[in-house]
Amino acid sequence: MATEVLGGEVLVTPETAPNGAHVHEDIKPADNAVPKETLECDVLVIGAGFSGITAIHRFREMGMSVKCFESGSDFGGVWYWNRYPGARVDSELPFYQLNIPEVYRDWSFTQRFSDHTELRRYMAHIDKVLGLRRDAYFNARVNDARWDESSGKWTVKTLQGHVAKAKYLVSCTGLLHRTYTPNFEGLSSYKGEVYHSGAWPEDFNPKGKKIGLIGAGATAVQITQELGKTASELTVFLRRPSYCLPMGQRAFTVEEQNSWKTYYPTLFTTGRDSAAGFPAGRAGDRLQDATAPERQRLFEELWARGSFNFALGNYGNILLDPEANKIAYEFWRSKVCARLTDPAKHAIMAPPVEKQPYYFGTKRSPLEQDYYEVLNQSNVHLHSLTENPLKKFTETGLEMQDGKTYDFDLVVLATGFDSYSGSLTQMGLHSKDNVDLADIWSSKGVNTYLGITIAGFPNFFHAYTPQAPTALSNGPTIIEAQVETIVDMIRKLEAEGARKFEAKEEAEEEWKATLAARSKMTLLPFTDSWWNGANIPGKKAENMIYVGGINMYEKEIRAKIDGWHGFDVVGAKPAATAAAA
């Protein structure tokens, strides 16, 4: 059994789908419009979400020929695939959009945090304004990519039969696209329905059903908020709770957004020159330097603002100092327990500080709207997998380690993703020595240089992936920082007449060691999650986060371009000669 998302594609076949799994009707086993001839272009982009759209647009502006392979049937990336109940973004407006004036000029969102349907409409608007579709090939799932030294080009093939040759290959396959389904004992014997959040049925109706949901991360929080209101019963199975923050959702009028568009350039520039993509300032370096009343006043103000303000605008040492972290957790717990009034439930979802499951901020904090009120309902139940683990699936439901059984009409798997590396290692990407990246990373761990290049892969770039600030950033902001840096690198390579460009292995090793050393200065290494790959059995748990923030990251990687520090460049003219030419 396997349900997977790769480069935006939910790949489910009758042989591999969970019982009752549904594939979006517009996914086809083959594309009837596959070109008979090999496509030739300067740049081939894989993936048509925010990263791919940005890449297509920026390379066009540069005057390069660019084509895109997308495994789905339209633009959107994660927002093409995410259609589960309650799916919405947790980055707020105006920052969750691309900084392209001709796109935002005539577009208005309806809410502070858009849902998946509105985001697909937004993607369609981008396509209409920029005319992206003429350079995109849909239902094109890449399954082979190889470098040819003699021609100095990549040859890329898809499952459906597309073939393209390009001097530069840019992967925009994303951070959280390949879904993960644990190898549950007995799953194939279960007679009810099973849905992974990444392969959701369009016509799903939970009314009157008994539902089991495995997971408590951001996706599970959104699904719980919706299913708990209409299901006959909903039982949530979790190992650790999420430390949810208040979303602060509200409607946005067209007039309100129009009045702010004059300031968009300044807001976007300031967001780009910030740690997380939101122009928020810290209250101070040390929580302990403030009095208890001062801290309480700040905590209340940040909490009332909603979004990630409690994390972004707080004291700088909360993620560095266990004592400061404990105080922040105690405040968070007081807010949750005031709403989740069932003592047995808040013992699981917000344990007392002496049983704090992990440091606050070292695992993703989802944004919620009425999550704790839904958990409070009598038809919603909680089961701690830490106290009583899952033993196996049965024909009618789940059996726990102590013999307790649950019967369900259907089970929802909100079991997460093979993050960071999952999409890159599942598309047959081969090094110059013809070794699959999956084999390289499985033996050596994840290695990149600057979070955008990989040693042994000439003229290859990737965005929104490992060893960058991706997990700690607003998506469009870090995407634009990385993609625009990649575009400028290629611009410089072309101006210098370079034939081949490649990261050095020793530079890669130095980058990885530097990021790990910086991470160890924080509390992040004390918590395992998808942030370090520990959610996938057999995958090496390792730091994959650049903790310095987007602004520091972009300055650091752009500084490497002068003199091509850490790179081998073949066929390039000296900078002065290139400039004169």
Structure tokens at 378: 């009598």
Q: What is the chain's Cα-based Rg?
A: 24
**CATH 3.50.50.60 assigned to 31-179+419-580:** yes
pLDDT at 261 over 50: yes
What is residue 22's predicted lDDT score, i.e. its pLDDT?
Answer: 35
Q: What is the model's pLDDT at position 17? A: 36
pLDDT digits (tens, 9 = 90+) for 27-51: 333 344 788 899 999 999 999 999 9
| Residue 60 CB contacts under 8 Å (≥ 6 apart), including other chains | 66, 135
Of the listed ranges 154-168, 169-183, 531-545, the least confidently predicted one is 531-545
Please report the pLDDT score of residue 146 as a whole number: 98
**Residue 57 has which token pair?**
């647009």
CB 21 within 8 A of CB 194: yes
What pLDDT, in 10s, does the model give residues 499-514? 999 999 999 999 999 9
Mean pLDDT of the chain: 91
* Domain edges within the chain: 31-179+419-580
Assign 18 a pLDDT band (cuts: 50, 70, 90).
Answer: very low
How do strand 9-11 and strand 4-6 relate by DSSP bridges? Answer: antiparallel
Going by C-beta distance under 8 Å and a sequence separation of 6 or more, which residues neighbour residue 14?
A: none
User: Residue 15: what residue type?
Assistant: E
Q: Look at residue 196 in the predicted model and tell me its pLDDT.
A: 93
What tens digit of pLDDT does each residue of 97-137 get? Answer: 999 999 999 999 999 999 999 999 999 999 999 999 999 99
Give the model confidence (pLDDT) of 309-345 as tens digits. 999 999 999 999 999 999 999 999 999 999 999 999 9
Give 178's Cβ-side CA count (13 Å radius): 21
Q: Is 98:50 a contact under the CB 8 Å cutoff?
A: yes
pLDDT value, residue 15? 29
Q: Scanning the structure block, which residue is given the tokens 């290494």?
A: 525
Residue type, 494: E
pLDDT score of 4 more than 60: no
Looking only at the bridges linking them, the beta strands covering 163-171 and 39-46 are parallel
Q: How far apart are the first and last CA of the chain?
A: 58
Model pLDDT, residue 388? 97
Tokens 């700690």: give the residue. Answer: 472
Question: What pLDDT was estimated at residue 202?
Answer: 81
Grade residue 158 by pLDDT with cuts at 50, 70 and 90: very high
Taking the whole predicted model, whether its pTM rises above 0.85 is answered as: yes
Query: For 177-186, 454-463, 526-535, 547-556, which range has the lowest pLDDT when averaged over its residues?
Result: 526-535
pLDDT of residue 575: 55
Q: What share of the chain is helix, strand, coil (3-state, %, to 5)?
A: 35, 20, 45
Question: Is 90 exceeded by the pLDDT of residue 581?
Answer: no
pLDDT at 26 over 90: no
- pLDDT, tens digit (0-9, with 9 covering 90-100), for 402-449: 999 999 999 999 998 777 777 899 999 999 999 999 999 999 999 999
Percent of the chain with pLDDT over 90: 83
Question: Which pLDDT belongs to residue 574?
Answer: 64
Q: Is 380 helix (H, G, I), strand (E, B) or coil?
A: strand
DSSP-derived 3-state class of residue 211: strand
In Å, the largest CA–CA distance within the chain is 78
Alpha carbon distance 231, 132 (integer Å): 41
Q: Would you state the pLDDT for residue 298?
A: 98
Report H helices in 14-139.
50-62, 78-81, 101-104, 116-130
- pLDDT for 572 beyond 80: no
Q: Tell me the pairing of strands 405-407 and 397-400.
A: antiparallel
| C-beta atoms surrounding 30 within 10 Å | 12
* pLDDT of 55 above 80: yes
Pairing of strands 210-214, 410-413: parallel
